[in-house]
Every structure is written in C-alpha cells, then in structure tokens.
Structure 1
Amino acid sequence: MSAWYVRKEGSPEVLALPTAVEVLTGLRDGNFLPTDEVRGPTDATWCAIEVHPTFAEAAEYIDPPPPEVADDTHLDMNPLIDVCLVLLIFFILTITYASIERALDVPPDTADEKGAPQKIDIKDIKDRIFKVIVKMDGERPIIKIEGKEVTQDQVFTEMQNIINTTGRKEMLLDIDKVVPWGVETAILDAAKGNKVHNIINNQRK
C-alpha cells in the first residue's frame, strides 16, 4: 500500500500516513509545520511540505506558529546570587575590620614625659590584676588564666568567675608574638565583655 512519510524538521523519526489528505489534516491541525519534510509514494527525496507540489498552496494559508511565551513563573536567581555575594563580602570585611579594631583598641603602656616606658612592679598591683598567659604548643594555643588552662571558648566564663570572686578588674596579658590574632582578639573580647578596665603589658613580645 502506498504511503506518505512525514518527519519533523531536524528529526530522524518518520511518521507514515496512508493518504495525502491526512498530511493536509495534520498540517491544518498544527501537528505538522510547513517546514517539516514529506516524501510521497513517487518522490525520490524528501522536501519541505511548503514546497511540495501537493501541499504548497495549502501551506501558504497556514499561520506561522506563535512565538514561545516566556514562563512568568521562572525566577532568575542570578541577580539574587550576585546580591548575596556582595553582602557576604561586605559581612566578611566588616567582621575583619571589627576584629582588628578590637585588637587595636587597647590602652597603650604608660610613659613618662621623656617617652620611656614606665616600669610596673607586679607586687604593687597584684591585688588588682589577674594574669592571662597565652603560649603556643606547636599549632595549638595554650591559654592559662591565673594558672588554670582553659579553652578559647571558656575564656569569658573563667574571667567572669575570677572577677566575681576576687573583684580584680585589671588584666596582665602575657602573649607570645606567634599566637594567632583570632585568639588574641577572643581574649580581648572576653575582657571587654567582663568590663576589664585596664590591660597591662599586652604588647606582643
């Protein structure tokens, strides 16, 4: 039985139809486009429906397919991602600046009029101060408050306990120069949070 073959433009899939009428019906109903290819029983090659002698006249009256309508429900996330990245960078810079500001916001050593540092005898102030020592053991910072080793997370609570029990609100900070800034900043934050009003000998050695 003779058949007509239709394939979508650019597609290798072939659809067989028994008559040319069914090809025209598919064209009219929008199942086929004028640019789709057709081959009749006597055709040696494929050609577009719109140029085939059997369908060329009918194809002229077929309206072009409507343009694709953009999906209004689609949300373009790229601008949102850009804004989030900017806010993240701003947040990181703000935190970094605040950390440096806290680390530098420390009373300097007192000096006499000639600029020489004033020597402080620990014996004279031992009733007013508590001592914090920070050293490095390899890659691990060792924090001792009044001789008691604590973790970085325990610094605030331990300072609070000492201040509450002894009434000492001045701190003698002995810290190695190799101690990371983050550790020093955490100690200074804890001191500030506990209203330590004087930090002595806090300069990195």
Structure 2
Amino acid sequence: MHCRQWIFDMDGTLTDSMGVVWEGAPDALLRRYGRTPKENLRSALLTMGMQEGAQYLIREYDLPLSEDEYYGVMREVIAELYETVELKPGVREMLARLRAEGARICLCSNTWADQCRTVLRRLGVLDDFEFIVEAQGALHKSRPEVFAQCMERLGGADPAACAVCEDAIYAASTAQKAGYYVIGIADPASAADEAQMRRVCDQFLPAWSALDWTRA
C-alpha cells in the first residue's frame, strides 16, 4: 500500500445514503411547502455544495424561507432520513485494514460535519477518522484546495501518495487533475457516470471488497 493518507467522501462512498437522503431530502422538503419537484432536480443539485443548493431551491421554487430557515428545515428532514442509512458492504473491513497498516484517514463531505458524526457514530466507525472537513463554499470539491487541506492535515505532501475516494464524477475529476490517487466506488445514484469514472479513477470499484491493495 503506497497511499499513506486517505480522504473519504461519505454519501455514496461509505454509506448508501445518496438515494435515501440526498435524492429524497429535496423532494421531501419541497412537498412540505406544496411544491412539485421538477424532473431535472436531482441532476441540477448533484454538483452543488450545500449553500449553492439551498439558494437554488429557494429561488427556483419560491420557498417562503430565508437561507437560515431553509437550513433548519432541511436538517430536520435529513436527520430523519439518515436514521435508515447503513454502511456499504466491505467498508468496516476496509477501514480496519487501513488502521492496521497505519494509514491516516479523514472524511471530506458536502454534508454538515455534525450530521456526519451522528451517522458514523451510530454505525460504529467515527473513531476511524481523524477529522471531518465540510466541503462547502470556497472548499467545494469542484476546486482542489479542499483536498490539499485534507492531505496536509493528514501529514502528507505528495498527492500521488494520497488516496481520494469518491462516487461523484465532478469530485473525482477535481482530484485526478490535481494528481491524487483516485478510487471511485459504484453507486446507483451515479450509475450514468460510470464510463467517465472509469476514465478518471486509478481504480473504479463495484464494491469495497474489490479494492486492489497492491495498487492503492
């Protein structure tokens, strides 16, 4: 294993939450206010950070909410949906091996850090991660700075020796262009991007059990 630092996304990468939470939450919130989601809503939100997505929904659906009020309502909706989320198969075993081999691990997610902690604590893997970075605002994953910050905090200096693990093509592409070792994981929510993911990832996995440790 040549990668000593590992940066993990959560939703769709470690947990099965893309469909349950992030495809379901905007619909659930809009319906609270009598709005009908448009057909392209999911694809429109996929590449947006939390703040950008909030502004988009408030504007496009004329929601009677300030941005702060929106976050409060959305947190309620998301917290309820996250109670049904589980780890993807093979995640526990993969994290245990990384710990045993002395790798340093962090989480870099678009999801609020406190919500990530709640989910990972319930699933029993929170202590595997040294810290959590919220990929929002200037640290959105469409820019490489967030991965650089994570790598440096993990004690790394060489992107090629730092694994970035993602299910979303925009984030995987950002990491690939910046020289990181990119591991993609299949997820139903991003199935349409599989061909692109295979092109930009050093490894693209159908499941975590397929990880080639000799290459990672």
Higher helix share: 2
Q: What's the TM-score bracket when you normalise by the shorter of the two chains?
A: under 0.3
TM-score (norm 1): 0.26
TM-score (norm 2): 0.25
Higher strand share: 1
Which of 1 and 2 has greater Rg? 1
